[in-house]
Amino acid sequence: MPSASPDSDDPSCSRRAVLAGVAGLPAGIAGRRSGRLRSTDRPPATRPVTVATWNVALGVDLFKLFDARSADDVREIAGELLAGARKHPYEARAAAIADALVAADADAVALQEAARIRAGSTETDGDGETVADLLDSVRSALEARDRPYEVAASTVTTDVELPVESESGRETVRLTDRDVLLVRPGVDARNARGETYDERMEFPVPGTDRTVALRRGYCRADVGPEGAAFTAVSTHLESVSASTRRRQAMELLDALPADGPVVVGGDFNSGPGTITSAYDALTDSLTDAHAQLRPDDDGYTCCRASIVGEGGSRLTKRIDGLLARGEARPTAVERLGEESADRGETTVDGETVAVWPSDHAGVVGTFEVPASAPTQTETRRSTRTRGAETTTGTGTGTPVPTGPGDEPSAASGSSAATDDPSGTTNGSGAGFGALAGAAAFVFAALARGRK
């Protein structure tokens, strides 16, 4: 990546060290343009904090499920998806993500689509084998690079189980989506919380009075690195419906602390290059670090058509970013994983091929926050917490029936969202954006199969 000084090509030289040596600043990252503060410009009694955000991508194309027209079709297509997941280069991608995050040296990292894919016999409800766990893979890769980031908060959003016909016989595959917030060693995190949004997409199941819900959410924690304190947030807004997405954005604003510095990292599925209604709602009270520091740079983050191989490098919209408010002042911002040199390598059919870290680029930014931040006002929301991980959402998931006597189960929701195809973020829906809609089609196909 472009660097702030000639010395930054030295792999032992982090962005923080480079910026400290060149600009006289403590920890920070080197921007690709001169958007950062000079040491003489820094307000008194502030500290720099660094935050990264990245949609790490499920890695399988769930849109294929829309081709199902029978129960046999469902099982066959789901079996192909499971086989694809078993071959997908998750470890190579996690290594490339970890390399970028180590270079960024962020205090907090917001991850979206930090998914877990499990498979098993119908008797084990899909919990027998972990096919992929993107959160675990990224954390393991970071630990191997001597950066053992900890989970400060994690929210389970959509959680769906599908029937599978594979070489091993009849199985189930369970897809669990998560928004996650990580913190580096030595960074305190407290008051972890998170929820799924009340507003959600609900797809009717043809021929029944049931619906299937696609849940989105957020997680947050109060983070205190090196004498500073701020609230870090990770969120993923709806990709399919612009109206749903905007209402989720309003819920997010309501869930943020009433005072104190806040930095939100997320895949907002809204921004320059696409429908901006949710982005406009958020930036009415939050500062977009990229827009403020690099107004003439498109900074696109989404979305590659292919993760593996030479293709898929084109990014055409900026839907991922870092937003701040309440005495969190952006001083530098740049993308992660958007250049060819950021790719990793893997072996496919005996040949070495390049692998993008994700179909999204990540974003990393530095913010000046008060050295002694005020105590933040608690919001009205609450969560169920288990240890260091905050889990919210469906809990038991949305199972798809696996036998001829089973009835479809529908996820509950307090509000119904109208499917708005015009609001779809093109290119970003190959993962969980398609899952609930596909599940509704699956229900219908299984119902037709029983008839």
Burial of 396 (0-12, 13-18, 19+ CB in 10 A): exposed
Q: Tally the C-alpha atoms within 13 A of residue 448's C-alpha that lie toward its C-beta.
A: 15
Q: How many CB atoms lie under 10 A from the CB of residue 314?
A: 10
Amino acid identity, residue 259? D
Q: Tally the C-alpha atoms within 13 A of residue 343's C-alpha that lie toward its C-beta.
A: 21
Mean pLDDT by 10 residues, the chain (451 residues): 38 37 35 36 78 92 72 81 90 96 96 92 64 96 97 92 75 90 94 93 68 87 89 95 95 94 97 96 97 96 85 83 95 95 85 92 96 53 36 38 35 36 48 56 54 45
Alpha-carbon gap, residue 159 to 161, rounded angstroms: 7
pLDDT of residue 430: 55
Alpha-carbon gap, residue 188 to 373, rounded angstroms: 14
Q: DSSP labels for 326-391? A: SS-EEEEEEEES-SGGG-EEEEETTEEEEE-S-SS-EEEEEEEEETTPPPPPP-S---EEETTEEE
pLDDT of residue 73: 79
Q: Domains in the chain, please, with CATH? A: 50-450 (3.60.10.10)
pLDDT of residue 407: 34
pLDDT of residue 18: 31
